[in-house]
Chain A
Amino acid sequence: MATLKEVKTKISSVKKTKQITSAMKMVATSRLRGAQESMEAFKPYASKFAEVLGSIAGKAGEEASPLLVPKEEVKKVSVILCTSDRGLCGGFNVNLIEKADKFIKNNLAGKEVSLTCFGKKGRDWAKKVPMTIDNQYIGVVGSKFDFSVASTSGQKLINRFLEGAVDEVYLVYSHYKSVARQEPVIKQLLPIPSLDEMEKNDAAPQAGKDAAYLAEHICEPSSDVLLGEMLPKNIFIQIYDALLQTSTSEHGARMKAMENATKACQDMIGELKTIFNKRRQSGITSDLMDIVGGAEALKG
């Protein structure tokens, strides 16, 4: 049985934990807002790009870019894994890593897999397995970063793809649906999935409108050259988008996790207080009994 003093210490320690978790929640909330803002700011660029890309993709041939051509034999596969640097965000990283792990085991069995890691957690996992790590970027996800991170890492992958050092590239990231919902997603980056599909996915809402003015678009240089320039950019955009989404998801997940932790602390404090009061009351009762007993004895 815990003594009165032990219970008291316990209460104060839980209170301190609660202070920390609720502060972390507040930090995550404000970071989440920032991340959401950069996601919003990126949208006009991404959607316009997809619209333009979708429109020239229809005109250019499949042979416009080597990035479109699937390799005959797929031996080496590269996976970009986006996770957070820091923990304390619930099952966020575990979910992402599990998704990547399953995908590698089920779909890429027998192939040479190497990883590009954004975020410490994914890298630590890859080190433990162990797996080959091509590149690692720490301090990107969850903080402020700009487009150049995506274009640098993307360019490296494209170069490797063109050299033949990798045959396929996949991207694993967390799709941000809402504060409460983040979903690990896998996307094929290279070779670029056929353009028809891309059009369907990215430019679907504008498709009808596009077709109307497309026919007369003058392209300079030719549409094939333009497409060749735009496709790598599109890869960078996808990576950037994945990073933004993962960052936002991380903050969302952390906010939720910290909210739960704060609530759990609150519950615990309540329970401990009940125990404390009971214990104190029983102490008083037994003291009283002693006094009463002593007085009775004196009376004789």
Chain B
Amino acid sequence: MAENIFLEVVTPSKAVVSEEAQIVVAPGSEGEFGVLKGHTTFLTSLKLGTLRYKDSSGHDRAVFISGGFAEVLPNKVTVLAESAERRKDIDVDRAKKAKERAEKRLSSAGGGVPADIDFVRAEAALRRAIHRLSIKGVA
């Protein structure tokens, strides 16, 4: 692997990742996809999931993504996410608490109307929390 592709992950509050990567694997809304240098230009939405990449020294990295968009250019991948965290930055306690909160809310809704906005939000929060924990290896 000689050539690297530049990976950038930006959120509204900061740039989370900005470094060279050997390979990037991202959770596209139509399925997971991998990108190497020289990929054709490509634009897709991302679903909640884990963005994986190998950094220039060959270490595997994982970044939590809450969904967003990715733009792929031959030498650069830009990910726009509403929130994103590197594995080491994930706050386990916070995620656990969020999970409990969401579960409580969902159970108190008692299988309420799924179209209800609070219900949808609690569900999304739960999914985010579970995913964060699974990246961290605390299921």
Residues of A within 8 A of B (CB): 38, 41-42, 44-46, 48-49, 52, 55-56, 146-148, 151-152, 155-156, 159, 213, 216-221, 223, 225-226, 229-230, 233, 237, 240
Contacts and interface: CB of A to CB of B under 8 A. Distances in A.
B47 to A, nearest CB: 11
B40 interface: yes
A233 B68 CA distance: 9
B117 A155 contact: yes
Contacts of A151: 82
17 contacts: A41-B12, A41-B14, A42-B12, A42-B13, A45-B80, A49-B80, A52-B71, A55-B43, A56-B43, A146-B12, A147-B82, A148-B82, A213-B73, A218-B41, A218-B43, A219-B43, A230-B69
B82 A218 contact: no
Q: Which among B40, B45, B73 has the greatest number of chain A C-beta atoms within 10 A?
A: B45
Contacts of A225: 45
A220 B35 CA distance: 14
Interface residues of B, number: 24
B31 to A, nearest CB: 9
Contact of A52 (B11, B80, B121): B80
Nearest to A155: B117
A229 B30 CA distance: 14
B107 to A, nearest CB: 22
A221 B43 contact: no
Contacts of B83: 147
B15 interface: yes
Nearest to A150: B12
Interface of B: 10-15, 28-30, 40-45, 69, 71, 73, 78, 80, 82-83, 117, 121
Nearest to B79: A48
Nearest to A38: B13
Given A44-B15, A220-B30, A52 B10 contact: no
Contact of A147 (B13, B42, B78, B117): B13
B45 A45 contact: no
A146 B14 CA distance: 11
Contacts of B41: 213, 216-218
Given A48-B80, A147-B82, A147-B83, A218 B13 contact: no
A49 B83 CA distance: 14
Nearest to B29: A221
B40 A216 contact: yes
- Which 6 residue pairs of A and B lie closest in terms of their CB atoms, listed nearest first? A220-B44, A147-B12, A45-B10, A218-B42, A41-B14, A217-B41
Contacts of B45: 221, 225-226, 229
A159 B12 contact: no
A56 to B, nearest CB: 7
B80 A220 contact: no
A3 B12 CA distance: 60
Given A52-B71, A155-B117, A221-B29, A45 B43 contact: no
A49 B13 CA distance: 14
A56 B44 CA distance: 11
Contacts of A46: 12
A138 B78 CA distance: 34
Given A42-B12, A42-B13, A45-B10, A219 B82 contact: no
Contacts of B121: 152
A182 B82 CA distance: 28
B30 to A, nearest CB: 5
B69 A44 contact: no
A52 B8 CA distance: 14
A237 B12 contact: yes
A24 to B, nearest CB: 27
Contacts of A218: 40-43
Given A156-B117, A217-B42, 4 more contacts: A41-B12, A221-B29, A221-B45, A229-B69
A220 B43 contact: yes
